[in-house]
Amino acid sequence: MRLLYTIGIRFFSFAVAFASFFNEKAKLLHGGRKEVWQKLSALKNESSVVWIHCASLGEFEQGRPVIEALKQQVPGKKILLTFFSPSGYEVRKNYDLADVVCYLPADTPRNARKFLSIVKPEEAFFVKYEFWPNFFNELSKSKIPLYSVSAIFREKQMFFKWYGRWLKKALSAVTRFYVQDETSGNLLHRIGMDNYEVAGDTRFDRVTAIVEAATDVPVAARFSENAGLVIVAGSTWPHDEDILVRYINQASEGVRMIVAPHEVHEGHIRDIEQKLKVPFFRFTQRENADVVDSRVMIVDTIGLLSAIYRYGQVAWIGGGFGKGIHNTLEAATYGMPVLFGPAYHKFNEARDLIDWGGGFSVDHYDDFFSLIERFRNNETQRSESGKAAGSYVKSMCGATRMIMEQVFGVNGN
C-alpha cells in the first residue's frame, strides 16, 4: 500500500506541475517546491534545529505558540517552518521567528531522506492533521523524535478502518501525540497507541496571550459605561449586520452595540450607517463624537477587536451566514455568551462552545431577538453562559506549557 501511496504522491506532483501553467495556486506550489533545497542549505551546518510543519495558515496559528515559547525559553534552537499549502506559505514566508520557511517537498522516500540528511532536526513537530507516511518512516529510521501537536482524530479517518492498517503503522513513528480531546485519545487507545496526552489546543494559548496583552480602549470603556447590555459584534458581514441593525433600531435605550465589520472600506461603513436609525459614531471620528449618548460604535479600523470584546456582555461572531464563522475564541476568553450564524459546523470550538452551554447558533432574526432579550432580562442566565464559555477556553489551554516541559524540560509559562 505504501508503494501505491508513493506512486499517487508522484502523480499528484506531476499534476501540480501541469496545472501550474493555468492555475495560480498550483503555480505557487510548484515554484515554491523548486526552491526548497536551496532554502534548506542554510541549515546544513547548523545544530539544534527544530522542525515544525503546518498544512496551512490555521495550523500555523497552532504551531506558533510552540515557536514563540522556544524562542523565549530555548533561544539557542534554530527553527525550520514548513508548509504544505500556498495559502499558509505565502502569508508567513517572512515570519521573523523562523530561521527558514519553505514548502514541504512531496512525500516520497527519496525526498524525505534528502530533507533529513540536510536538516538533521533534533525534533520534529507536525500540527493537527498532518500525517505524511514517508517522512514519518524516515524520521523513525533516523531516530528523530516526532511529536503530533494539537492533533485531533475522528472515527471516520482511515487510521481506524480495516483498510488503513498501513497508515496506522505510519502513526507508530510518532513519539508522543498531544491531542485536543478525550475522544482523540480514546481512538488512539483503541488501536493500541497509549503514547498520548490530552493537552488541549495550542491555539487557545495563543489567543489567551493576545487577550492578556491587549491594551485598553478608552473610548469603548466610555461608550459601554452605565449601559444595560453591550453587544460586541466582531468580523461582521452584511447578513450579520442586517440582523444587528434591525435589533438595535428597535431595542430599548439601555442596549448598546459595538460593530467591527470584517471589511472596513468606506463603502461598507456607509452602508451600515445608512441603515441605522439610532445615534452612532465611528471609532476613527471619536474625538468629535457624542460617545455617551450614542447607541452604536462602528469600529472602522483593524487590530482592535480582541481588546474591544472585554467591554461587552454578549458577543456576536460574523460569517455564519456565508462560508463560515470567524474567531469565536477571543470573545469566549472574556467569559461571555457567544452567538453566531448557522455555518459553524466545521469549527470544533464553535461546536464545543454549544456543548458547554456558552455558544448559541442563530438561524434568523427571531432566534437572535429571543436570545438577546433572554440575556438582557436574565442576568443569571447570561452570567452562567458566559462562565461556561470562559471555562471551555481554560480547559483547552496549557498545551504549549506541557510540550515545553515534557519535550524540552523547561517551564512553558
Domain presence at residue 339: yes
In the beta sheet, which residues pair with residue 318? none
Q: Give ∠ CA 61-78-134 in degrees, rounded to 5.
A: 70
Cβ atoms of 14 and 72 closer than 8 Å: no
Whole-structure pTM value = 0.82
What digits encode the pLDDT tens for the residues 153-184? 999 998 998 888 888 889 999 999 999 999 99
d(CA 178, CA 181): 9
Q: What is the pLDDT of residue 300?
A: 95
If you search the block for the grid coordinates 471609532, which residue do you land on?
Answer: 283
DSSP letter at 317 equals E
Residues 146 and 23 in one domain: yes
DSSP letters, 132-201, are -HHHHHHHHHTT--EEEEEE---TTSGGGSGGGHHHHHHHTT-SEEEESSHHHHHHHHHTT---EEE---
Domain presence at residue 413: no
d(CA 149, CA 176): 9
Domain presence at residue 27: yes
Residues 133 and 228 in one domain: no
Q: Residue 57 carries which side chain, given as an amino acid letter?
A: L
Backbone angles phi, psi at 363, to 5 degrees: -90, -30
Task: Return the CATH number at 238.
Answer: 3.40.50.2000
DSSP letter at 378 equals -
What digits encode the pLDDT tens for the residues 201-247? 999 998 888 888 888 999 999 999 989 999 999 999 999 999 999 99
Instruction: List the one residue out of 233, 204, 210, 229 whose CA is nearest residue 320.
Output: 233
Q: What is the pLDDT of residue 214?
A: 82
Q: What is the pLDDT of residue 165?
A: 84
d(CA 234, CA 388): 20
Q: Which domain holds residue 141?
A: 2-200+398-408
Task: Report whether pLDDT(287) > 80.
Answer: yes
d(CA 160, CA 338): 34
Domain presence at residue 292: yes
Residues 230 and 377 in one domain: yes
| Mean predicted confidence (pLDDT) in 319-333 | 94
What would the grid cell of residue 209 be?
Answer: 496571550
Domain count, the chain: 2
d(CA 63, CA 48): 18
Task: Return the CATH number at 54.
Answer: 3.40.50.11720
If you search the block for the grid coordinates 459595538, which residue do you land on?
Answer: 258
Q: What is the pLDDT of residue 346?
A: 86
Residues 6+ apart with CB under 8 A from 291: 219, 222, 223, 281, 297
Residues 173 and 227 in one domain: no
Q: What is the pLDDT of residue 96?
A: 94
In the beta sheet, which residues pair with residue 147? 125, 176
| Mean predicted confidence (pLDDT) in 124-142 | 95
Residues 6+ apart with CB under 8 A from 70: 50, 77, 79, 404, 408
Task: Report whether pLDDT(276) > 70.
Answer: yes
Q: What is the pLDDT of residue 41?
A: 94
What digits encode the pLDDT tens for the residues 304-318? 999 999 999 999 999
Domain presence at residue 314: yes
In the beta sheet, which residues pair with residue 282? 298
Question: Chain-centre distance of CA 253, in angstroms?
Answer: 36
Cβ atoms of 231 and 251 closer than 8 Å: no
Task: Report whether pLDDT(413) > 80.
Answer: no
Cβ atoms of 153 and 183 closer than 8 Å: yes
In the beta sheet, which residues pair with residue 9? none
Residues 194 and 219 in one domain: no
What digits encode the pLDDT tens for the residues 27-56? 999 999 999 999 999 998 888 999 999 999
